[in-house]
Chains A and B, each alone.
Chain A
Amino acid sequence: MKLFYSFLLTCIAFSAGAQDIYFTRTGKIEFHSGSSIEDIDGTNNEVSSMLNIKTGDMAFTVLVKSFHFKRALMEEHFNENYMESEKFPKASFKGKIVNMPALNVTANGSYNIQTEGELTIHGVTKKVILPGKITVSGGKVTGVSSFKILLSDYNVIIPGVVAEKFSKETEINVSCVYDPRS
Protein backbone atom coordinates (compact mmCIF):
# COMPACT_ATOMS: atom_id res chain seq x y z
CA MET A 1 0.00 0.00 0.00
CA LYS A 2 2.84 2.35 0.89
CA LEU A 3 4.52 1.55 -2.42
CA PHE A 4 1.28 2.28 -4.25
CA TYR A 5 0.93 5.67 -2.60
CA SER A 6 4.50 6.64 -3.29
CA PHE A 7 3.96 5.56 -6.91
CA LEU A 8 0.81 7.66 -7.04
CA LEU A 9 2.58 10.66 -5.55
CA THR A 10 5.45 10.31 -7.98
CA CYS A 11 2.98 10.28 -10.86
CA ILE A 12 1.34 13.46 -9.61
CA ALA A 13 4.69 15.10 -9.06
CA PHE A 14 5.89 14.26 -12.55
CA SER A 15 2.70 15.42 -14.15
CA ALA A 16 3.34 18.84 -12.61
CA GLY A 17 6.93 18.75 -13.76
CA ALA A 18 8.78 17.76 -10.61
CA GLN A 19 12.07 19.34 -11.61
CA ASP A 20 10.39 22.75 -11.80
CA ILE A 21 9.12 22.68 -8.24
CA TYR A 22 11.17 24.18 -5.45
CA PHE A 23 10.27 23.58 -1.85
CA THR A 24 11.09 24.63 1.71
CA ARG A 25 9.89 23.83 5.23
CA THR A 26 12.10 26.36 6.96
CA GLY A 27 11.01 29.64 5.43
CA LYS A 28 10.87 32.64 7.71
CA ILE A 29 8.16 35.19 8.38
CA GLU A 30 8.59 38.13 10.73
CA PHE A 31 6.09 40.75 11.57
CA HIS A 32 6.23 44.05 13.40
CA SER A 33 3.00 45.32 14.81
CA GLY A 34 4.19 47.40 17.74
CA SER A 35 4.44 51.14 18.22
CA SER A 36 6.93 53.29 20.13
CA ILE A 37 5.36 52.05 23.40
CA GLU A 38 5.92 48.33 22.97
CA ASP A 39 7.64 46.01 20.50
CA ILE A 40 5.22 43.46 19.16
CA ASP A 41 7.42 41.25 17.02
CA GLY A 42 6.62 37.70 16.01
CA THR A 43 8.95 35.30 14.24
CA ASN A 44 8.18 32.03 12.51
CA ASN A 45 10.90 29.78 11.12
CA GLU A 46 8.63 26.95 10.04
CA VAL A 47 7.08 28.36 6.90
CA SER A 48 6.32 25.77 4.21
CA SER A 49 6.32 26.96 0.66
CA MET A 50 6.43 25.68 -2.91
CA LEU A 51 7.42 27.59 -6.02
CA ASN A 52 7.12 26.47 -9.59
CA ILE A 53 9.98 28.23 -11.37
CA LYS A 54 8.50 27.59 -14.82
CA THR A 55 4.94 28.80 -14.31
CA GLY A 56 5.54 31.15 -11.39
CA ASP A 57 2.86 29.47 -9.27
CA MET A 58 3.52 29.77 -5.57
CA ALA A 59 1.99 28.56 -2.30
CA PHE A 60 2.82 29.40 1.30
CA THR A 61 1.31 27.98 4.44
CA VAL A 62 2.19 28.48 8.07
CA LEU A 63 0.91 27.37 11.47
CA VAL A 64 -0.13 30.42 13.45
CA LYS A 65 0.94 28.66 16.67
CA SER A 66 4.55 28.47 15.54
CA PHE A 67 4.99 32.24 15.69
CA HIS A 68 7.22 33.00 18.66
CA PHE A 69 7.63 36.13 20.74
CA LYS A 70 10.09 37.43 23.29
CA ARG A 71 7.37 37.52 25.93
CA ALA A 72 5.47 34.32 26.67
CA LEU A 73 2.32 36.21 27.58
CA MET A 74 2.38 38.08 24.27
CA GLU A 75 2.51 34.74 22.47
CA GLU A 76 -0.47 33.50 24.46
CA HIS A 77 -2.48 36.63 23.71
CA PHE A 78 -1.53 36.45 20.03
CA ASN A 79 -2.95 32.91 19.84
CA GLU A 80 -5.85 33.25 22.26
CA ASN A 81 -7.18 36.76 21.78
CA TYR A 82 -6.10 38.06 18.40
CA MET A 83 -5.41 35.28 15.88
CA GLU A 84 -7.65 32.63 17.54
CA SER A 85 -5.23 29.96 16.39
CA GLU A 86 -7.42 27.11 17.60
CA LYS A 87 -10.20 28.25 15.26
CA PHE A 88 -7.93 29.38 12.44
CA PRO A 89 -4.77 27.29 12.74
CA LYS A 90 -3.20 28.31 9.44
CA ALA A 91 -2.35 31.41 7.47
CA SER A 92 -1.61 31.00 3.78
CA PHE A 93 -0.88 32.64 0.47
CA LYS A 94 -1.67 31.13 -2.88
CA GLY A 95 -0.74 33.01 -6.00
CA LYS A 96 1.26 33.49 -9.12
CA ILE A 97 4.19 35.62 -10.15
CA VAL A 98 2.73 37.81 -12.89
CA ASN A 99 6.03 38.85 -14.45
CA MET A 100 7.82 35.52 -14.07
CA PRO A 101 11.35 35.87 -15.41
CA ALA A 102 12.89 32.99 -17.37
CA LEU A 103 14.88 31.48 -14.52
CA ASN A 104 18.06 29.61 -15.16
CA VAL A 105 19.05 27.84 -11.97
CA THR A 106 22.60 27.32 -13.15
CA ALA A 107 23.21 31.04 -13.63
CA ASN A 108 23.22 33.39 -10.66
CA GLY A 109 20.92 36.35 -10.87
CA SER A 110 18.40 38.54 -9.14
CA TYR A 111 14.92 39.48 -10.33
CA ASN A 112 12.28 41.86 -9.04
CA ILE A 113 8.86 40.29 -9.22
CA GLN A 114 5.20 41.07 -8.69
CA THR A 115 2.85 38.43 -7.29
CA GLU A 116 -0.89 38.29 -7.38
CA GLY A 117 -2.93 35.98 -5.22
CA GLU A 118 -5.04 35.29 -2.18
CA LEU A 119 -3.75 35.98 1.32
CA THR A 120 -5.61 34.19 4.11
CA ILE A 121 -5.13 35.38 7.70
CA HIS A 122 -7.47 34.77 10.65
CA GLY A 123 -9.93 32.99 8.33
CA VAL A 124 -10.30 36.02 6.05
CA THR A 125 -9.16 35.74 2.42
CA LYS A 126 -8.21 38.87 0.49
CA LYS A 127 -6.93 39.36 -3.06
CA VAL A 128 -3.54 41.05 -2.86
CA ILE A 129 -0.72 42.19 -5.11
CA LEU A 130 2.65 41.83 -3.38
CA PRO A 131 6.12 42.89 -4.49
CA GLY A 132 9.11 40.59 -4.11
CA LYS A 133 12.49 39.53 -5.30
CA ILE A 134 13.88 36.21 -6.46
CA THR A 135 17.60 35.48 -6.26
CA VAL A 136 19.32 32.49 -7.79
CA SER A 137 22.66 31.60 -6.28
CA GLY A 138 24.53 28.31 -6.38
CA GLY A 139 21.52 26.24 -7.50
CA LYS A 140 19.36 27.63 -4.69
CA VAL A 141 16.41 29.88 -5.21
CA THR A 142 15.64 32.54 -2.60
CA GLY A 143 12.41 34.49 -2.50
CA VAL A 144 11.84 37.55 -0.31
CA SER A 145 8.95 39.92 0.12
CA SER A 146 8.09 42.85 2.37
CA PHE A 147 4.62 44.27 2.60
CA LYS A 148 2.14 45.87 4.95
CA ILE A 149 -1.37 44.87 5.92
CA LEU A 150 -4.15 46.36 8.01
CA LEU A 151 -5.21 44.14 10.91
CA SER A 152 -8.77 45.39 10.53
CA ASP A 153 -8.86 43.96 6.96
CA TYR A 154 -8.48 40.50 8.49
CA ASN A 155 -10.96 40.94 11.32
CA VAL A 156 -8.25 41.10 13.98
CA ILE A 157 -9.81 43.34 16.60
CA ILE A 158 -7.60 45.40 18.88
CA PRO A 159 -9.45 46.60 22.00
CA GLY A 160 -9.32 50.34 22.70
CA VAL A 161 -7.35 49.93 25.96
CA VAL A 162 -4.31 48.52 24.18
CA ALA A 163 -4.79 50.22 20.80
CA GLU A 164 -1.91 52.66 21.29
CA LYS A 165 0.52 49.75 21.65
CA PHE A 166 -0.20 48.76 18.06
CA SER A 167 0.86 50.53 14.91
CA LYS A 168 -1.78 51.19 12.26
CA GLU A 169 -0.17 48.86 9.77
CA THR A 170 1.59 45.56 10.38
CA GLU A 171 4.82 45.09 8.50
CA ILE A 172 5.45 41.55 7.26
CA ASN A 173 8.77 40.21 5.97
CA VAL A 174 8.92 36.85 4.21
CA SER A 175 12.11 35.06 3.30
CA CYS A 176 12.36 31.53 1.85
CA VAL A 177 15.40 29.62 0.64
CA TYR A 178 14.14 26.90 -1.69
CA ASP A 179 15.67 23.57 -2.56
CA PRO A 180 14.72 21.55 -5.61
CA ARG A 181 11.98 19.13 -4.64
CA SER A 182 13.35 15.62 -4.85
Chain B
Amino acid sequence: MFHVFMIPVLKKIDMQNPILRICVFISFLIIIPFLSFSQKKESEKKEIPKKESTDLMDMLEKEIASKPVTNYTTATFKTTRLINAHSIENVAGGVMDIKISHRFGELNGGFYELFGLDNASIRIGADYGITDWLMIGLGRSSYEKQYDGFLKMKFLRQSTGKKNVPLSISGFAGIYYNTLKWSEPDRENYYTSRINYAFQLLMARKFSEGFSLQLSPTLVHKNLVPLATDQNNLLSVGIGARQKITKRMSINVEYYYQIPGYKLENTVDPLSIGIDIETGGHVFQFIFTNSTGIAENQYITGTTGKWSKGDIHFGFNVARVFTLKKTKLKETK
Protein backbone atom coordinates (compact mmCIF):
# COMPACT_ATOMS: atom_id res chain seq x y z
CA MET B 1 0.00 0.00 0.00
CA PHE B 2 2.82 2.28 0.92
CA HIS B 3 4.48 1.61 -2.42
CA VAL B 4 1.39 2.69 -4.26
CA PHE B 5 1.56 5.95 -2.34
CA MET B 6 5.22 6.45 -3.12
CA ILE B 7 5.33 5.78 -6.86
CA PRO B 8 3.63 8.96 -8.13
CA VAL B 9 5.64 11.02 -5.68
CA LEU B 10 8.97 9.49 -6.63
CA LYS B 11 8.22 10.10 -10.29
CA LYS B 12 7.84 13.77 -9.57
CA ILE B 13 11.36 13.94 -8.18
CA ASP B 14 13.92 14.50 -10.87
CA MET B 15 16.58 11.80 -10.33
CA GLN B 16 18.88 13.58 -12.80
CA ASN B 17 19.36 16.25 -10.21
CA PRO B 18 22.93 15.94 -8.88
CA ILE B 19 22.09 17.15 -5.35
CA LEU B 20 19.43 14.52 -4.96
CA ARG B 21 21.80 11.85 -6.21
CA ILE B 22 24.38 12.92 -3.67
CA CYS B 23 21.75 12.66 -0.95
CA VAL B 24 20.90 9.11 -1.97
CA PHE B 25 24.59 8.27 -2.03
CA ILE B 26 25.17 9.76 1.43
CA SER B 27 22.28 7.81 2.91
CA PHE B 28 23.87 4.63 1.51
CA LEU B 29 27.18 5.59 3.11
CA ILE B 30 25.42 5.98 6.44
CA ILE B 31 23.85 2.52 6.19
CA ILE B 32 27.13 0.70 5.46
CA PRO B 33 28.59 0.87 9.01
CA PHE B 34 25.34 -0.63 10.31
CA LEU B 35 25.82 -3.66 8.09
CA SER B 36 29.50 -4.25 8.82
CA PHE B 37 28.83 -3.99 12.55
CA SER B 38 26.56 -7.00 12.50
CA GLN B 39 29.01 -9.12 10.52
CA LYS B 40 31.74 -8.55 13.06
CA LYS B 41 29.46 -9.80 15.81
CA GLU B 42 28.64 -12.94 13.90
CA SER B 43 32.29 -13.91 13.50
CA GLU B 44 32.89 -13.35 17.20
CA LYS B 45 30.15 -15.80 18.03
CA LYS B 46 31.65 -18.58 15.96
CA GLU B 47 34.84 -18.62 17.99
CA ILE B 48 33.25 -19.97 21.16
CA PRO B 49 35.05 -23.28 21.79
CA LYS B 50 32.87 -26.33 22.10
CA LYS B 51 33.10 -27.96 25.49
CA GLU B 52 32.40 -31.65 25.66
CA SER B 53 30.52 -32.78 28.66
CA THR B 54 28.02 -35.36 29.80
CA ASP B 55 26.24 -32.77 31.94
CA LEU B 56 22.52 -32.75 31.14
CA MET B 57 22.33 -28.92 31.04
CA ASP B 58 25.21 -28.78 28.55
CA MET B 59 23.54 -31.42 26.42
CA LEU B 60 20.32 -29.42 26.51
CA GLU B 61 22.13 -26.21 25.54
CA LYS B 62 23.75 -28.02 22.62
CA GLU B 63 20.46 -29.47 21.50
CA ILE B 64 18.90 -25.98 21.55
CA ALA B 65 21.84 -24.48 19.68
CA SER B 66 21.40 -27.06 16.92
CA LYS B 67 18.06 -25.47 16.02
CA PRO B 68 18.55 -21.71 16.38
CA VAL B 69 15.51 -19.48 16.65
CA THR B 70 15.15 -15.88 15.52
CA ASN B 71 15.39 -13.44 18.39
CA TYR B 72 13.65 -10.21 17.41
CA THR B 73 14.83 -6.97 18.97
CA THR B 74 12.08 -5.29 20.95
CA ALA B 75 11.65 -1.85 22.50
CA THR B 76 14.17 -0.01 20.33
CA PHE B 77 12.40 3.13 21.52
CA LYS B 78 9.93 3.61 24.36
CA THR B 79 6.99 4.83 22.28
CA THR B 80 5.92 5.47 18.71
CA ARG B 81 7.32 9.02 18.86
CA LEU B 82 10.93 9.82 19.62
CA ILE B 83 10.11 13.46 20.46
CA ASN B 84 8.21 15.15 17.64
CA ALA B 85 9.07 12.58 15.03
CA HIS B 86 7.91 9.02 14.56
CA SER B 87 10.20 6.26 15.78
CA ILE B 88 10.22 2.79 14.19
CA GLU B 89 7.98 1.55 17.01
CA ASN B 90 4.35 0.68 16.33
CA VAL B 91 1.55 0.18 18.81
CA ALA B 92 0.73 -3.53 19.05
CA GLY B 93 -2.26 -4.97 17.19
CA GLY B 94 -5.55 -4.16 18.91
CA VAL B 95 -4.04 -1.43 21.06
CA MET B 96 -5.16 2.20 21.05
CA ASP B 97 -2.78 4.93 22.13
CA ILE B 98 -4.22 8.34 23.01
CA LYS B 99 -1.61 11.05 22.74
CA ILE B 100 -1.83 14.63 23.94
CA SER B 101 1.08 16.78 22.85
CA HIS B 102 1.59 20.22 24.24
CA ARG B 103 4.12 22.88 23.25
CA PHE B 104 4.26 26.07 25.27
CA GLY B 105 5.38 29.40 23.85
CA GLU B 106 8.96 30.50 23.53
CA LEU B 107 11.18 30.72 26.61
CA ASN B 108 12.54 34.09 25.46
CA GLY B 109 9.06 35.60 25.93
CA GLY B 110 10.37 36.42 29.40
CA PHE B 111 8.40 36.97 32.56
CA TYR B 112 5.63 38.83 30.70
CA GLU B 113 4.69 35.59 28.91
CA LEU B 114 5.75 33.54 31.96
CA PHE B 115 8.51 32.04 29.79
CA GLY B 116 6.03 30.79 27.23
CA LEU B 117 3.51 29.21 29.58
CA ASP B 118 0.83 31.74 28.49
CA ASN B 119 0.69 30.27 25.01
CA ALA B 120 0.32 26.72 23.85
CA SER B 121 0.11 24.65 20.72
CA ILE B 122 -1.67 21.34 21.18
CA ARG B 123 -2.16 18.18 19.18
CA ILE B 124 -4.69 15.60 20.30
CA GLY B 125 -4.49 12.29 18.53
CA ALA B 126 -5.36 8.63 18.61
CA ASP B 127 -3.22 5.84 17.18
CA TYR B 128 -4.45 2.31 16.62
CA GLY B 129 -2.63 -0.89 15.75
CA ILE B 130 -4.54 -2.84 13.10
CA THR B 131 -1.90 -5.55 13.31
CA ASP B 132 1.48 -5.67 15.02
CA TRP B 133 3.08 -4.31 11.83
CA LEU B 134 0.49 -1.80 10.62
CA MET B 135 -0.79 1.20 12.53
CA ILE B 136 -2.95 4.18 11.68
CA GLY B 137 -3.46 7.47 13.44
CA LEU B 138 -5.61 10.57 13.38
CA GLY B 139 -4.96 13.90 15.01
CA ARG B 140 -5.79 17.55 15.19
CA SER B 141 -3.31 20.31 15.87
CA SER B 142 -4.26 23.75 17.13
CA TYR B 143 -1.30 25.16 15.16
CA GLU B 144 -2.61 26.02 11.66
CA LYS B 145 -5.88 24.32 12.74
CA GLN B 146 -4.68 21.20 11.03
CA TYR B 147 -6.12 17.69 10.77
CA ASP B 148 -3.79 14.81 10.03
CA GLY B 149 -3.92 11.12 9.30
CA PHE B 150 -1.09 8.65 8.90
CA LEU B 151 -0.18 5.07 8.25
CA LYS B 152 2.98 3.38 9.51
CA MET B 153 4.16 -0.02 8.44
CA LYS B 154 7.01 -2.26 9.59
CA PHE B 155 9.03 -3.75 6.74
CA LEU B 156 11.99 -5.27 8.51
CA ARG B 157 12.76 -6.11 12.12
CA GLN B 158 16.20 -6.18 13.67
CA SER B 159 16.98 -9.69 14.83
CA THR B 160 19.71 -12.14 15.78
CA GLY B 161 19.87 -15.92 15.75
CA LYS B 162 18.48 -17.84 12.82
CA LYS B 163 17.72 -14.64 10.90
CA ASN B 164 20.38 -12.02 11.41
CA VAL B 165 19.08 -8.57 10.48
CA PRO B 166 21.14 -5.53 11.53
CA LEU B 167 18.39 -2.91 11.56
CA SER B 168 14.66 -2.29 11.61
CA ILE B 169 12.96 -0.45 8.76
CA SER B 170 9.51 1.10 8.71
CA GLY B 171 7.64 3.23 6.22
CA PHE B 172 5.52 6.23 7.14
CA ALA B 173 2.97 8.12 5.03
CA GLY B 174 0.99 11.08 6.33
CA ILE B 175 -1.58 13.49 4.91
CA TYR B 176 -2.30 16.92 6.40
CA TYR B 177 -5.19 19.32 5.90
CA ASN B 178 -5.13 22.78 7.40
CA THR B 179 -8.38 24.66 7.95
CA LEU B 180 -7.13 28.21 8.48
CA LYS B 181 -9.09 31.01 6.84
CA TRP B 182 -7.62 31.87 3.44
CA SER B 183 -4.98 34.53 3.78
CA GLU B 184 -6.09 36.02 0.46
CA PRO B 185 -9.83 35.32 0.18
CA ASP B 186 -10.21 37.53 -2.88
CA ARG B 187 -8.26 35.30 -5.21
CA GLU B 188 -9.39 31.88 -6.40
CA ASN B 189 -8.44 29.34 -3.72
CA TYR B 190 -8.44 25.58 -4.14
CA TYR B 191 -9.06 23.10 -1.33
CA THR B 192 -6.05 21.10 -2.60
CA SER B 193 -3.86 24.02 -1.54
CA ARG B 194 -4.57 23.06 2.04
CA ILE B 195 -3.11 19.57 1.62
CA ASN B 196 0.43 18.47 2.51
CA TYR B 197 1.95 15.01 2.40
CA ALA B 198 4.88 13.46 4.24
CA PHE B 199 6.72 10.23 3.42
CA GLN B 200 9.45 8.79 5.59
CA LEU B 201 11.69 5.77 5.59
CA LEU B 202 12.55 5.02 9.20
CA MET B 203 15.72 3.00 9.79
CA ALA B 204 16.85 2.20 13.31
CA ARG B 205 19.25 -0.02 15.15
CA LYS B 206 19.30 -0.88 18.84
CA PHE B 207 23.04 -0.97 19.45
CA SER B 208 22.76 -1.98 23.07
CA GLU B 209 20.16 -2.30 25.80
CA GLY B 210 20.42 1.44 26.40
CA PHE B 211 21.38 3.03 23.09
CA SER B 212 19.34 3.20 19.88
CA LEU B 213 19.88 5.29 16.76
CA GLN B 214 17.49 6.18 13.96
CA LEU B 215 17.85 7.72 10.50
CA SER B 216 14.79 9.02 8.69
CA PRO B 217 15.07 10.22 5.09
CA THR B 218 11.98 12.35 4.57
CA LEU B 219 10.01 13.89 1.74
CA VAL B 220 7.39 16.51 2.50
CA HIS B 221 5.22 17.58 -0.42
CA LYS B 222 3.33 20.85 -0.11
CA ASN B 223 0.70 21.60 -2.72
CA LEU B 224 1.01 25.30 -1.99
CA VAL B 225 4.24 26.99 -0.91
CA PRO B 226 4.69 30.61 0.21
CA LEU B 227 7.09 31.78 -2.51
CA ALA B 228 7.24 31.17 -6.24
CA THR B 229 10.89 30.23 -5.81
CA ASP B 230 10.12 27.57 -3.16
CA GLN B 231 10.14 23.88 -4.08
CA ASN B 232 7.00 21.80 -3.57
CA ASN B 233 9.01 18.70 -2.74
CA LEU B 234 11.05 19.30 0.40
CA LEU B 235 13.78 16.86 1.37
CA SER B 236 15.38 16.24 4.72
CA VAL B 237 17.17 13.58 6.73
CA GLY B 238 16.30 13.06 10.37
CA ILE B 239 18.63 11.62 12.94
CA GLY B 240 17.43 10.57 16.36
CA ALA B 241 18.97 8.81 19.33
CA ARG B 242 17.88 7.56 22.72
CA GLN B 243 20.00 6.68 25.71
CA LYS B 244 18.41 4.98 28.69
CA ILE B 245 19.47 6.36 32.05
CA THR B 246 17.37 4.02 34.20
CA LYS B 247 15.01 1.16 33.37
CA ARG B 248 12.10 3.56 33.09
CA MET B 249 13.79 6.77 31.93
CA SER B 250 15.67 7.81 28.82
CA ILE B 251 17.15 10.90 27.18
CA ASN B 252 16.27 11.50 23.53
CA VAL B 253 17.69 13.82 20.88
CA GLU B 254 16.28 14.45 17.44
CA TYR B 255 17.46 16.63 14.56
CA TYR B 256 16.31 17.06 10.98
CA TYR B 257 18.77 18.28 8.38
CA GLN B 258 16.94 20.02 5.57
CA ILE B 259 18.69 19.59 2.22
CA PRO B 260 19.74 23.02 0.86
CA GLY B 261 17.71 23.89 -2.21
CA TYR B 262 14.89 21.62 -1.04
CA LYS B 263 13.71 23.65 1.94
CA LEU B 264 11.43 26.60 2.34
CA GLU B 265 12.96 30.07 2.58
CA ASN B 266 13.40 31.39 6.15
CA THR B 267 12.98 28.00 7.87
CA VAL B 268 15.56 26.38 10.12
CA ASP B 269 16.35 22.78 11.02
CA PRO B 270 14.37 21.48 14.01
CA LEU B 271 16.35 20.26 17.02
CA SER B 272 14.66 18.71 20.04
CA ILE B 273 15.85 17.24 23.31
CA GLY B 274 13.60 15.23 25.58
CA ILE B 275 13.25 12.92 28.54
CA ASP B 276 10.92 9.89 28.57
CA ILE B 277 9.48 8.78 31.88
CA GLU B 278 7.40 5.64 32.02
CA THR B 279 4.91 4.84 34.76
CA GLY B 280 2.70 1.80 34.20
CA GLY B 281 0.43 2.44 31.21
CA HIS B 282 1.56 6.06 30.78
CA VAL B 283 4.59 7.52 29.09
CA PHE B 284 5.46 11.14 29.83
CA GLN B 285 7.82 12.94 27.48
CA PHE B 286 9.23 16.28 28.59
CA ILE B 287 10.90 18.17 25.79
CA PHE B 288 12.66 21.30 24.62
CA THR B 289 12.33 22.14 20.94
CA ASN B 290 12.59 25.08 18.56
CA SER B 291 9.46 24.10 16.65
CA THR B 292 5.90 25.21 17.43
CA GLY B 293 4.14 22.66 15.23
CA ILE B 294 3.82 19.01 16.20
CA ALA B 295 2.82 17.33 12.90
CA GLU B 296 5.51 16.25 10.41
CA ASN B 297 4.87 18.92 7.77
CA GLN B 298 4.96 21.59 10.48
CA TYR B 299 8.07 20.76 12.49
CA ILE B 300 10.27 19.39 9.69
CA THR B 301 9.66 22.02 7.03
CA GLY B 302 8.06 24.88 8.94
CA THR B 303 10.28 25.57 11.94
CA THR B 304 11.36 29.18 12.27
CA GLY B 305 12.55 29.42 15.89
CA LYS B 306 16.29 29.50 16.55
CA TRP B 307 17.91 27.84 19.57
CA SER B 308 20.62 30.52 19.50
CA LYS B 309 18.02 33.26 19.99
CA GLY B 310 16.17 31.44 22.75
CA ASP B 311 13.17 30.52 20.59
CA ILE B 312 12.83 27.36 22.63
CA HIS B 313 9.53 25.76 23.52
CA PHE B 314 9.07 23.67 26.61
CA GLY B 315 6.51 20.93 26.06
CA PHE B 316 5.29 17.48 26.90
CA ASN B 317 3.62 14.48 25.34
CA VAL B 318 1.38 12.31 27.47
CA ALA B 319 0.37 8.91 26.15
CA ARG B 320 -2.06 6.42 27.57
CA VAL B 321 -2.43 2.96 26.10
CA PHE B 322 -5.74 1.05 26.00
CA THR B 323 -5.88 -2.61 25.05
CA LEU B 324 -9.04 -2.94 22.94
CA LYS B 325 -8.40 -6.46 21.68
CA LYS B 326 -6.52 -8.86 23.93
CA THR B 327 -4.20 -11.33 22.26
CA LYS B 328 -5.33 -14.90 22.54
CA LEU B 329 -2.64 -17.00 24.12
CA LYS B 330 -1.82 -20.13 22.20
CA GLU B 331 -2.75 -23.33 23.99
CA THR B 332 -0.36 -26.25 24.06
CA LYS B 333 -1.27 -29.21 21.98
Q: Which of chain B's residues have a CB closer than 8 A to the CB of A86?
A: 209
Complexed CA–CA distance, A48 and B95 (Å): 31
Q: Which of chain A's residues have a CB closer than 8 A to the CB of B69?
A: 46, 63
Complexed CA–CA distance, A68 and B94 (Å): 15
Q: Which of chain A's residues have a CB closer than 8 A to the CB of B93?
A: 72
By the criterion CB–CB under 8 Å, are B329 and A43 in contact? yes
For A58, the closest partner residue in chain B by CB is: B56
Apart from the given pairs A26-B332, A45-B332, A162-B280, 11 other A-B contacts in the complex at a CB distance below 8 Å:
A16-B59, A50-B60, A59-B60, A61-B57, A61-B61, A63-B69, A71-B323, A72-B323, A73-B92, A92-B57, A94-B56
Measured CB to CB, the closest approach of chain B to A173, in angstroms, equals: 11
Complexed CA–CA distance, A161 and B282 (Å): 13
Task: Indicate whether A72 sits within 8 Å of B247 (C-beta atoms), given known contacts A9-B62, A48-B60, A162-B280.
Answer: no
By the criterion CB–CB under 8 Å, are A59 and B330 in contact? no
Complexed CA–CA distance, A175 and B331 (Å): 12
Task: Indicate whether A12 sits within 8 Å of B332 (C-beta atoms), given known contacts A50-B59, A161-B280.
Answer: no
Task: Find B279's partner among A21, A46, A49, A161 (CB 8 Å cutoff).
Answer: A161
Q: Which of chain A's residues have a CB closer than 8 A to the CB of B91?
A: 72
Q: How many B residues are at the interface, by size bracket?
A: 35 or more
A153 contacts the other chain (CB 8 A) = no
Q: Which of chain B's residues have a CB closer than 8 A to the CB of A8?
A: 52
Task: Find B56's partner among A50, A71, A76, A81 (CB 8 Å cutoff).
Answer: A50
B326 contacts the other chain (CB 8 A) = yes
Chain B interface secondary structure, helix, strand, loop or mixed? loop
Which B residues contact A (CB, under 8 angstroms)?
52-54, 56-57, 59-64, 67, 69, 71, 74-75, 91-95, 132, 209, 247-248, 278-281, 321, 323, 326-327, 329-330, 332-333
Task: Indicate whether A52 sits within 8 Å of B56 (C-beta atoms), given known contacts A65-B74, A80-B247.
Answer: yes
Q: How many A residues are at the interface, by size bracket?
A: 35 or more
For B64, the closest partner residue in chain A by CB is: A48
Can you list 13 A-B contacts with CB-CB less than 8 angstroms, sorted by A residue number? A9-B62, A12-B52, A12-B53, A13-B59, A16-B59, A43-B330, A45-B332, A48-B60, A50-B60, A52-B56, A70-B327, A81-B248, A92-B57
Measured CB to CB, the closest approach of chain A to B223, in angstroms, equals: 37
Q: Which of chain B's residues have a CB closer than 8 A to the CB of A92?
A: 57
Complexed CA–CA distance, A57 and B54 (Å): 11
Task: Indicate whether A94 sits within 8 Å of B57 (C-beta atoms), given known contacts A45-B330, A80-B75, A161-B280.
Answer: yes
Complexed CA–CA distance, A15 and B64 (Å): 20
Closest 7 CB pairs of A and B: A72-B92, A70-B326, A59-B57, A59-B56, A86-B209, A59-B60, A50-B60
Q: Which of chain A's residues have a CB closer than 8 A to the CB of B61?
A: 61
Q: Which of chain B's residues have a CB closer than 8 A to the CB of A45?
A: 330, 332
Complexed CA–CA distance, A58 and B56 (Å): 7
Complexed CA–CA distance, A68 and B209 (Å): 20
A115 contacts the other chain (CB 8 A) = no
Complexed CA–CA distance, A58 and B57 (Å): 8
Q: List the count of A-B residue pairs having beta carbons below 8 Å apart.
A: 93
For A72, the closest partner residue in chain B by CB is: B92
Task: Indicate whether A79 sits within 8 Å of B75 (C-beta atoms), given known contacts A43-B329, A45-B332, A61-B64.
Answer: yes
Which A residues contact B (CB, under 8 angstroms)?
8-9, 12-13, 15-16, 21, 23, 25-26, 28, 43, 45-46, 48-50, 52, 57-59, 61, 63, 65, 68-73, 76, 79-81, 84, 86-87, 92, 94, 161-162, 175, 181
For B247, the closest partner residue in chain A by CB is: A81
Measured CB to CB, the closest approach of chain A to B55, in angstroms, equals: 8
Complexed CA–CA distance, A76 and B132 (Å): 13
Complexed CA–CA distance, A63 and B161 (Å): 13
Measured CB to CB, the closest approach of chain B to A110, in angstroms, equals: 20
Task: Indicate whether A84 sits within 8 Å of B247 (C-beta atoms), given known contacts A65-B74, A68-B329.
Answer: yes
By the criterion CB–CB under 8 Å, are A49 and B60 in contact? yes
By the criterion CB–CB under 8 Å, are A50 and B63 in contact? yes
Complexed CA–CA distance, A12 and B56 (Å): 11
Complexed CA–CA distance, A105 and B59 (Å): 22
For A81, the closest partner residue in chain B by CB is: B247
By the criterion CB–CB under 8 Å, are B321 and A73 in contact? yes
By the criterion CB–CB under 8 Å, are A79 and B74 in contact? yes
Complexed CA–CA distance, A172 and B301 (Å): 54
